[in-house]
A and B are shown apart, each in its own frame.
Chain A
């Protein structure tokens, strides 16, 4: 819901504060976001459990090749969604379709209730997009460029203040007069970022925003994305897993144009790994140890791990989900007199899971 300008026109700052308190109280149970513009204009958006982006049966064909193959998903308001997949999996294509840069062969995209094909202008106004290569006019200065983007995005906020604000947010203060051509890659990325944030769009889409940045910049950008998630709905893509799991609420894994996993970040790793591997390092004769561990009920597979020293050998022990074999292993090793040097749960890391999932999907196709 939104208050009309006329109604708010007369409202003093003090009244506005009270109104904010009032609305926050009224909508206690729902996530209410109250935005204030310079004390007078007041916009109140009510964020219940609402879908901001809905993608339905999206397919994109290039000739016979399907770059995106029947993808459907939804993103809730305020959610940070990570798009994960190897290069060429269809991440960028999907993002390009959502932002209206290219069209889909079939399927629909709805952003905040507007369909991109039916109301392109209205929909595009709701999206800030940072493509893989930031769309910068390199011969312009940073400020001139942002002013241009401000104009073509038809932003209705006060120009100078808003651009200052956005530049401050991405750490571009004092860079307004620099010509983009002379900026380093990290700073160019920031300009691209600033451009996507102009006009405070409810949806922000970032295509591999951290590629080519140095570690410090990557951490800064991640922090920025996390902060954005409070006010905006964010989709961002990456092929770096740790990055996605560090910043996202939810992860969608894409490979060969298909969604192969869609879950909350923490669920994904725990659901798929499910405590079924143990890494044991013990001192003694390798074959004896392996034979002894194999006897333990619940053990499925014992594999020698590459990392072994002269005396000690490391084994990967795979066991039935749910069976806790740590005590049995301890007893068995004690029985044959091989001291355990190290024993740890080898819960599948996100990296391994990601590789396994993307490999599987490829295997299925061939």
Chain B
């Protein structure tokens, strides 16, 4: 797993992907930071974090689009699948590689918090809690998009489907209010990523939110392993 993780990470930085993702992330977070904290003299990063939710939905498909689709297209999966590593190790290695790049993106929030500390006392507990939230959200989205990438041979398809999935996840909240059948709307509202994430941005750390994101992550990584396994048997 270590070797796959290392290769994955170096793969991101040997291609433009990691730099593009980092740049886009820094640009938008910097813009929101300037807009909400500087222009309005606020010491709260909540708005910045809240808005980054939408950016993340679009950035993660780009980050993960290559993970399995490109391996399949270039036939490099033959090297992985015929070497003595288990599918779980392959999936975890790739997941952690993408997650590390994402974590690097999120590191910028600490910088913002430090910048605030020059002018005012930042709410460190809220910042750290939100940072945990954004990392968990990222992990869940990466797992979903890695799964999507494992379904196709084309990274463009993987990226587009991933972004569409991101849009659906974003807008689940709106659909909830439109559906009159109560049990469906309740079920949907429980799947709304935004509500769980918003809790974090308020500095509320609850087990429900953490468990939600962790289980989504685990579930989709498990699905990915199953997809790879199934492909072998088909």
Contact = CB atoms under 8 A, between A and B. Distances in A.
Interface in A115-157: 120-122, 124-125, 127, 129, 131, 133, 135-140, 144, 148-149, 151-154
A121 B10 contact: no
A240 B78 CA distance: 24
Contact of B79 (A96, A122, A127, A135): A135
Given A148-B7, A151-B3, A152-B4, A121 B78 contact: no
A100 B82 contact: yes
A189 interface: no
Interface in A169-199: 195
A56 to B, nearest CB: 19
Interface string B74-97: 111111111111100000000000
A148 B84 contact: no
Interface centre among B11, B81, B83 (most CB of A within 10 A): B83
A99 B82 CA distance: 6
A137 B11 CA distance: 9
Interface of A: 62, 96, 99-103, 120-122, 124-125, 127, 129, 131, 133, 135-140, 144, 148-149, 151-154, 195
Nearest to B79: A135
A152 B77 contact: no
Given A103-B232, A121-B86, A125-B84, A149 B79 contact: yes
B76 A137 contact: yes
Contacts of B75: 131, 133, 135
Contacts of A127: 82
B74 to A, nearest CB: 7
B111 to A, nearest CB: 30
9 shortest A-B CB distances, which residue pairs?
Answer: A151-B3, A135-B79, A121-B84, A99-B82, A135-B76, A124-B84, A135-B78, A125-B84, A152-B83
B78 A101 contact: yes
Interface centre among B3, B7, B10, B82 (most CB of A within 10 A): B82
A138 B73 CA distance: 13
A169 to B, nearest CB: 19
A101 B86 contact: no
Contacts of B11: 137, 139-140
B82 A148 contact: no
Given A135-B77, A138-B74, A101 B82 contact: yes
Contact of A149 (B15, B83, B232): B83
Given A135-B77, A139-B11, A151-B2, 19 more contacts: A100-B81, A103-B232, A125-B84, A127-B82, A129-B82, A131-B78, A136-B74, A137-B7, A137-B11, A139-B15, A140-B11, A148-B6, A151-B6, A152-B4, A152-B79, A153-B83, A153-B84, A154-B84, A195-B79
Contacts, number: 69
Interface residues of B, number: 25
B85 to A, nearest CB: 5
Contacts of A122: 84
A159 to B, nearest CB: 12
A149 B79 CA distance: 8
Nearest to A145: B7
B3 A152 contact: yes
B183 interface: no
A135 B80 CA distance: 9
A139 B74 CA distance: 12
A100 B82 CA distance: 6
A124 B83 contact: yes
B14 interface: yes
Contacts of A131: 75, 78
B233 interface: yes
14 contacts: A100-B81, A101-B232, A103-B232, A121-B86, A124-B82, A125-B84, A131-B75, A133-B75, A137-B7, A140-B10, A152-B3, A152-B4, A152-B85, A153-B83
